[in-house]
Amino acid sequence: MHTVVTLGELLIDFVPEENGLPLAAVPAFRKAPGGAPANVAAAVAKLGGRARFVGKVGDDPFGWFLRAVLEETGVDTRSLLLAPDAKTTLAFVSLRADGERDFLFYRDPGADTLLSPEELDGSWLDDAAVFHFGSVSLSAEPARSATREMAERARERGLLVSYDPNLRPALWPSDAAMREEAASAVALADVVKVSESELDALAGDKGPAFFFDRGVSLLVITKGEAGCVYHTPHASGTVPGFAVRAVDTTGAGDGFVGGLLVQLAQRAKDRPWEDEAWLRRALRFANAVGALVTTKRGAIPALPTREEVLAFLGA
């Protein structure tokens, strides 16, 4: 009954062997599993929770590799479909000298965009407490309709719905189209996690009120090493982060979301965030997961176990 079901992109990230170069200058790339909702499912499973991933990859060696990585992490992949008619999506990523990331996607169309509403199986939500999605799967049809359909089914069943926009401008025809679609999906969610720049892009100067007006109950803004800020309609506060030796921040936000959702899934029905002491403890745990992810390279390989998080917290 406590399963966290995530839906969205699962793809290959090609990351440079050497940081600080623009994409055109990178001499060699290493393949790594990527896709934020898949990372969140892996984080939940690694932390000892139950997780299922809904998505589509190509029926090709990269797709088989991605499925195996999720299975090894303990994620249920019965809902990961193999596309006979498109290849696994590829993203080449470079970390520029100024710390910003450049993305180049091979997705014309990529298998992840071809998940369709007709392919969704209602039983994938049967044992779920939480449904989580992002905005990348909203950027192309039919995956956009499939994402919305699954979120609506989850709401009808009374599940907690979580949304991390994870805006990727390179995947959209225009920034305006991205903002409009990503903002309209807020109304599907109970819990939203954003970065500060995503907060500005979606809410402009309305701030947290933008989310509460659309029915959101918990808004969390992550702030890198500074930790996070939370807002509910009745309370707000800061939960400081942890000082660690960060070597690669890839996946920190997804680890953070996994750390929060694995706890929400235990008590999803009683809206536990209304107990502010509980919420602060949950966010401290999530901050610890995010911090630990930055101490190792990659996203999924860097995810900690629950025991590692508790040891880090001195609990």
Residues recognised as catalytic: 254
Cβ–Cβ under 8 Å, residues 139 and 181: yes
Q: Of 260, 224, 312, nearest to 132 (Cα)?
A: 260
CA proximity to 261, closest of 184, 189, 171, 172: 189
Closer CB to ligand ADP, 57 or 228, in the complex: 228
The footprint of ligand ADP on residues 222-241 (CB under 6 A) is 222-225, 227-228, 241
Report residue 42 as tokens.
Answer: 């892996």
Could you tell me which stretch among 53-61, 139-147, 204-212, 249-257 binds ligand ADP (CB under 6 A)?
A: 249-257
**Residue 291 lies near ligand ADP (rule: CB under 6 A):** yes
Cβ nearer to ligand ADP, comparing 3 with 249: 249
269, exposed or middle or buried, with CB in 10 Å at 0-12, 13-18, 19+? Answer: exposed
**CA of 212: how far to CAs of 186, 257, 277, in Å?**
10, 20, 21
Taking CB under 6 A as the criterion, the residue among 34, 63, 165, 253 binding ligand ADP is 253
Specify the stretch interacting with ligand ADP by CB under 6 A; choose among 21-29, 155-163, 206-214, 285-293. Answer: 285-293
- Residue 251 CA neighbour count, 13 Å, CB half: 31
Binding mask 184-213 for ligand ADP (x = CB under 6 A): -----------x------------------
Judged by CB under 6 A, the stretch of 52-60, 65-73, 77-85, 252-260 that binds ligand ADP is 252-260
Paired sense of beta strands 191-195 and 29-34, if any: unpaired
Query: Would you tell me which residues interact with ligand ADP (CB under 6 A)?
Result: 195, 222-225, 227-228, 241-242, 244, 246, 249, 252-253, 256, 287, 290-291, 294
